[in-house]
């Protein structure tokens, strides 16, 4: 059984990429971020460079973000096996135009990011903030927010946890996010935190 990319995959790829918004002659491109999967069981399933145009200081600017996605098949008991284990890392470049610096997601907190996911996709629901913790990533302690929610697998609601961070590194904003079933928290929670700790940027 597979959770289609239109569902959880869309949350991590199209969902995050859409956060920066869409409305040139000037372009800015983010550097990829990747992770060492180690023994977590996650496998890289794709990389994308979604682009958009925005207007800054009266000038059209092309922005190219990056998304690297990883997935894992997880046994859901009676529901069978599904690739509901997802880790994705999104990067968005800092834009410098006419002496001004701007990134549309740099100052958005985790709660607002998740709200935007829910506004764009109906397959994730009942999201609520659970806790915050510090995880070492890319040379610093980063705030990771944990949310609970549900995703739909073949018409069945599966309770999940979502771990999300949002921070600046080098000249990009980096947003790593992991989703996994609540019933597998003891195993997959540490796996997602390991994937976050093993990030490399630029890749």
pLDDT band for position 6 (50/70/90)?
very low
139 has pLDDT over 70: yes
Residue scoring higher pLDDT (123 or 193): 193
How crowded is residue 88: how many other Cβ atoms within 10 Å of its Cβ?
26
How crowded is residue 107: how many other Cβ atoms within 10 Å of its Cβ?
10
Give per-residue pLDDT as tens, 27-85. 899 999 999 999 999 999 999 999 888 887 778 888 999 999 999 999 888 777 778 89
140 has pLDDT over 60: yes
Please report, for the chain, the start and end positions of each structural domain, with discontinuous segments joined by +: 5-200
Mean pLDDT computed over every residue of the chain: 84
Between 3.30.70, 3.40.50, 3.40.1000, 1.10.3470, what CATH number should domain 5-200 receive? 3.40.1000
Q: What is the pTM of this model?
A: 0.85
The predicted structure's pLDDT at residue 124: 74
Backbone angles phi, psi at 38, to 5 degrees: 55, -130
Sign, Cα dihedral of 165, 46, 93, 139: positive
Distance CA 31, CA 72 (A): 24
What is the percentage of the chain residues whose pLDDT exceeds 70? 84
- Contact (Cβ atoms closer than 8 angstroms) between residue 162 and residue 176: no
Could you tell me which of 124, 107, 16 has the C-alpha nearest to residue 65?
Answer: 16
């Amino acid at each position: 059984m597979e959770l289609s990319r239109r569902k959880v995959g869309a949350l991590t790829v199209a969902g995050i990429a859409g956060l920066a918004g869409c409305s040139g002659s000037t372009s800015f491109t983010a550097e990829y971020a990747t992770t060492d999967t180690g023994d977590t069981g996650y496998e890289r399933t794709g990389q994308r460079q979604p682009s958009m145009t925005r207007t800054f200081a009266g000038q059209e600017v092309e922005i190219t973000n990056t998304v690297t996605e990883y997935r894992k098949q997880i046994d859901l008991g009676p529901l069978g096996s599904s690739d509901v284990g997802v880790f994705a890392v999104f990067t968005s470049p800092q834009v410098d135009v006419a002496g001004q610096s701007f990134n549309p997601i740099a100052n958005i907190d985790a709660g607002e990011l998740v709200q935007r996911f829910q506004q764009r996709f109906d397959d994730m629901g009942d999201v609520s903030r659970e806790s915050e913790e510090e995880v070492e990533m890319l040379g610093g302690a980063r705030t990771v927010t944990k949310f609970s929610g549900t995703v739909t697998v073949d018409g069945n609601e599966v309770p999940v946890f979502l771990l999300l961070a949002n921070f600046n590194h080098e000249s990009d904003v980096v947003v790593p996010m992991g989703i996994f079933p609540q019933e597998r928290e003891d195993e997959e929670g540490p796996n997602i935190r390991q994937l976050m700790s093993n990030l490399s940027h630029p890749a």
